[in-house]
Structure 1
Amino acid sequence: MGATTENLATTPSREVFLKLSEEEKASGSKVPAVPIFLRFPQGLLDPPTVFQRIREGKDSFLLESVKGSDRIGRYSIIGTRPFRVFSSKGSKIRIREGIYERKIDGNPFIELKRLMEETPVVRTPGAPPFTGGAVGLISYDAVHFFEKLPRTAVDDLAIPDLHFLFVDTCILFDHVEKEVILVHIPLLRHSPSETSARIRAYEEGVERLKGLYRKIMDGEALPSLKRQRSSRSFPVLPNMAKENYMEMVRRAKAYIKAGDIFQTNLSQRLTAEIGDLDSFHLYRILREINPSPFAAYLDFQEFQIVSSSPERLMLLKDGVVETRPIAGTRPRGKDPAGDQAMSAELITNEKERAEHIMLIDLERNDIGRVCDYGTVRVDELMVLEDYSHVIHIVSNVRGNLHAGKDLFDLIRATFPGGTITGVPKVRCMEIIDELEPVQRGPYTGSIGWLGFNGDMDLNIIIRTFVIKAGKAHVQVGAGIVADSDPEREYFETLHKANALLQTLETV
């Protein structure tokens, strides 16, 4: 017997929906979009199970808070069947809607903003932060639209600079309230001013949510994971020898000594041939090995992203901006006593503390460019967070977004994150382009969502597989300062790759 929806209520009621859409129409919005919600207890459901039950081919996503709190990991978001796919490389932009695709030239951020503004969404009391919008990624190299930087590194992955799925229907897990929230925003593209059209859109939206509920509840269970050493072997090859990485560090230290920069981040890439390995299976194992607050699985047509990022680049919610920089790393100990010793050494290490404070100042300056004067403050300073294989120093910086600024202004002011570029940021990015042999692609860019309601949440793409053409790529970096030891920094990059390499050994 299939799941029944008889006792489930959607909100708002039809009368309230019509009232809210009338108010939006009067305010001059192009398409009065009022979200409809259906809530029910989470029970035994989890995000990977629901994702597997509702996904329909490619162009699906799971943004999951596997580890977190009510502050940094409250919600997971799932979606499929986008009504629009936006993709760009350089100034070449592709926009696909159903079977139709158009290609244009221009600044992709300007075009993305224009498309987002077509669908303003009413903010309703008690609504979750994301009620529809664009979900996807911004590759590191998209920074060329904000800063004039050299392009000498090789673009060997050929991943889009921006790739976003526009969704009007999504599923959220509220991990604090232990409930599932189904969301749909009726997009009234034809005759939005007619009451009959709005009533029809509301009723169709309610039926769509009930159908989605039945699909979730009637779906099959995921096969259990077996955490054991894989019978398959996936040799991992670095894109540079140890000595080459150490030479990069020495050259960066020379720039520091010369006064060009104070700190930078240098990375290497590891690649494994994985053939037809199921990327979602890889994600399921990674989330168990390395649970993180900003994990993600993006299943696009030509590539997939499997991420267990611990770091938020930027949150914008109701006009309040938050960034959560990570700087300072040690490997986990072999036991609790070892963890305690590593934590004590990390938090008292003068090099790590100085580097962290320097990066906090950079983040304060970045968000200060778009926040009200006097509102930028550090509300969490140098706390320790434990992950499966490493311990990090983390802080939290927040401020109030200036009136007249929006999420795109915030991206321009802060992207990419200072913790994975350095201080000063622009000069560090020039040096990264000079020293690293390949373009970073998604690595140290951002995954997340841009809401039709004007809010946003983006991570920093670290601890991540980029999968394309049968290969899984992992890029890992280390922060370089004046007294960095090149060999130690090399091994720090490998420590950061441990969870991902262990995942490959387990699939």
Structure 2
Amino acid sequence: MKDPHVREIVCIEPSALAQRLKGQRQLTLLESVMRSEQLGRYSFLTCNPRATLEVTAAGTFLNGTAQRDSAIGIISRLTEENRQRHVAGLPPFQGGLAGYIAYDFGRRLEPTAKIPEFAALCPDLVLHHFDCVAAFDHMQERAWIISATPEHADELEQLLSRKPQALGRRIIEGFQSNFSRDAYEKAVAQTVDYILAGDIFQANITQTFSAAIPSDFDALAFYMALRRTNPATFAAFLDYGGVQIASSSPERLLRVEGSSVETRPIKGTRRRDADPVRDASLIASLASSRKDHAENVMIVDLLRNDLSRVARPGSVKVPVLCGLETYANVHHLVSVVTGELAKPNGMGELIAATFPGGSITGAPKIRAMEIIANIEQIPRGVYCGAIGYIGFNGRSDFNIAIRTAQFADGVARVQGGGGITARSDPATEYDESLTKIKRIMEAFAA
């Protein structure tokens, strides 16, 4: 088992350091912008990977070479072959795989599901093998370079000492949805009909806003604005050449520490209000809502079932049910589901059992995914997928990529929606979908 090389560096804001890495290959920033002891403590910055695992319509590729094994099998093999010792007292990602898993990868995990293969917005999965990473502990206000060799640490430290690269334009105008208000409300009503007919208990229906990307647009400049307008615990910026992602997600899909696994589904939302009295009223409305609690509990049951597929019998617990969390633009109901993995280093199997996250599909999962595809009629790309890392030291963490903008093929896309239940009101659901993207749209504005 390998021991990484560790070097402490001056602790500078990770996003500011990302400007110094602008233009490097596969720039990856996983950032806790809304900081706290439990959920927003660590950030990670890296680039120039030694290997890349990618899944496209043409197949599964490792460093551009087609593979016979599935991506899940390759993830398990890479984590086993590159196991390294965890250095206690340092941030958890100390080298491993990092990147994204698109929502549309879920179709590959459920081959019996009747889901069309839409023209992809981006590769279904991109995970890079990074053996050198800058890691930040915001509670201690300390930072380190953690690497396989001192030479790799020298290279990253030299890049981080450069002058910040200039940022360009972040404004994009003219976003148009794939739904009119009337069409979206009809889609919600159609989903309710599926529920009343007994097909599903719940489905997450979204709309997509798209616009042409101006020639002088700078995705990193947009991310810098987004992290100010909508600070989040599980933010990320990925510059992967033809695909760029800016995320300000408040939701964790999976965290693994040794054999312990945690997921934190969000279901139930109210907007924030600048007036304290109205804001308190919105909180009270959310806390007392039978509809929102029922929605959250349904997804908790789904995730308990998902985790049970790979967890030790009897280990799956729900330490928090419908807890209240407040973010820049919204209040949420958040539950916590935990378990103990039956198989050591079983991150590939865990992803296969739980992806996509139940909070952004619905229940039962496969039928909800089929209905989502039938109603939305377009791929989601990275949105509602996951962004994060699989550490070779047995530590992993992924968000659910909500509150996320994606840029590819000259088009910017922002999606928003919500969970539909039998109690859903179409007009209210439409308004909620706009509330969820409000701060993202503000980041595109002057």
TM-score of the pair, normalised by structure 2: 0.94
Q: How does 1:224-239 map to 2 (within 5 A)?
A: 234-239=173-178
Distance 2:170 2:96 in 1: 41
Letter in 1 for 2:180: A
Distance 2:120 2:14 in 1: 33
Letter in 1 for 2:104: D
Q: Which residue of 1 aligns with 2:85?
A: 122
Letter in 2 for 1:38: R
2:163 equivalent among 209, 216, 220: 220
Tell me, what secondary structure is at the counterpart of 2:179? coil
Letter in 1 for 2:118: V
Q: How does 1:316-331 map to 2 (within 5 A)?
A: 316-331=256-271
Distance 2:94 2:170 in 1: 43
Cα contact 1:275–1:471 (8 A) shared by 2? no
Q: Deviations over 1:425-472 (max 9, x none)?
A: 111111112211102221111110011123211110111011012221
Q: Which residue of 2 aligns with 1:209?
A: 153
Q: CA deviation at 1:232?
A: 5.5
Q: CA deviation at 1:90?
A: 3.8
Q: Which residue of 2 aligns with 1:469?
A: 409
Asked if 1:337 is matched to 2:277, the reply is yes
Cα contact 2:219–2:244 (8 A) shared by 1? yes
Distance 1:455 1:502 in 2: 35
Cα contact 1:55–1:79 (8 A) shared by 2? no
CA separation of 1:268/1:326 partners in 2, compared to 1, >3 Å: closer, same or farther?
same
Asked if 1:85 is matched to 2:52, the reply is yes
Q: Which residue of 1 aligns with 2:133?
A: 170
Letter in 2 for 1:278: D
Q: CA deviation at 1:231?
A: 10
Distance 2:184 2:244 in 1: 27
Distance 1:54 1:91 in 2: 31
Asked if 1:39 is matched to 2:8, the reply is yes
Cα contact 2:271–2:282 (8 A) shared by 1? yes
Tell me, what secondary structure is at the counterpart of 2:208? strand
Cα contact 1:298–1:306 (8 A) shared by 2? yes
- Identity fraction in percent: 37
Asked if 1:303 is matched to 2:270, the reply is no
Letter in 2 for 1:219: R
Between the two structures, name the one with larger relative contact order (CA 8 Å, sep ≥ 6). Answer: 2
Tell me, what secondary structure is at the counterpart of 1:378? strand
Q: How does 1:231-310 map to 2 (within 5 A)?
A: 234-276=173-215, 277-310=217-250
Distance 2:195 2:262 in 1: 29
Q: How does 1:122-161 map to 2 (within 5 A)?
A: 122-147=85-110, 148-152=112-116, 154-155=118-119, 157=121, 159-161=122-124
Tell me, what secondary structure is at the counterpart of 2:81? coil
CA separation of 1:210/1:59 partners in 2, compared to 1, >3 Å: closer, same or farther?
closer
> Which has the larger Rg?
1
Q: Which residue of 1 aligns with 2:368?
A: 428
With 373-382 and 300-309 compared, the bigger mean Cα shift is at 373-382
Tell me, what secondary structure is at the counterpart of 2:74? helix
With 137-146 and 102-111 compared, the bigger mean Cα shift is at 102-111
Q: CA deviation at 1:490?
A: 1.1
Distance 2:376 2:21 in 1: 40
With 418-427 and 114-123 compared, the bigger mean Cα shift is at 114-123
Cα contact 1:49–1:222 (8 A) shared by 2? no
Tell me, what secondary structure is at the counterpart of 1:117? helix
CA separation of 1:152/1:231 partners in 2, compared to 1, >3 Å: closer, same or farther?
closer
TM-score of the pair, normalised by structure 1: 0.83
Q: Which residue of 1 aligns with 2:30?
A: 63
With 483-492 and 367-376 compared, the bigger mean Cα shift is at 367-376
Asked if 1:500 is matched to 2:440, the reply is yes
Cα contact 2:103–2:382 (8 A) shared by 1? yes
CA separation of 1:312/1:231 partners in 2, compared to 1, >3 Å: closer, same or farther?
closer
Tell me, what secondary structure is at the counterpart of 2:312? coil
Cα contact 1:330–1:343 (8 A) shared by 2? yes
Q: Deviations over 1:85-127 (max 9, x none)?
A: 221114612332xxxx423455222233333333111233334
Q: Deviations over 1:34-54 (max 9, x none)?
A: 211112452xx1001112223
Letter in 1 for 2:193: A
Asked if 1:184 is matched to 2:143, the reply is no
Q: Deviations over 1:463-486 (max 9, x none)?
A: 101101222101111110102111
Cα contact 1:56–1:81 (8 A) shared by 2? no
Q: CA deviation at 1:151?
A: 2.9
Distance 1:153 1:93 in 2: 16
Asked if 1:410 is matched to 2:350, the reply is yes
Q: Deviations over 1:374-419 (max 9, x none)?
A: 2222222322222222111112111111135611111111111111
Q: Deviations over 1:268-308 (max 9, x none)?
A: 10012222300000000000000001100000021100100
Distance 2:94 2:372 in 1: 37
Unmatched segments (≥5 aa) in structure 1: 1-23, 25-32, 186-204
Q: What is the number of residues matched between the two proteins?
A: 444
Unmatched segments (≥5 aa) in structure 2: none
Q: CA deviation at 1:164?
A: 1.2
Q: CA deviation at 1:210?
A: 4.5
Cα contact 1:63–1:297 (8 A) shared by 2? yes
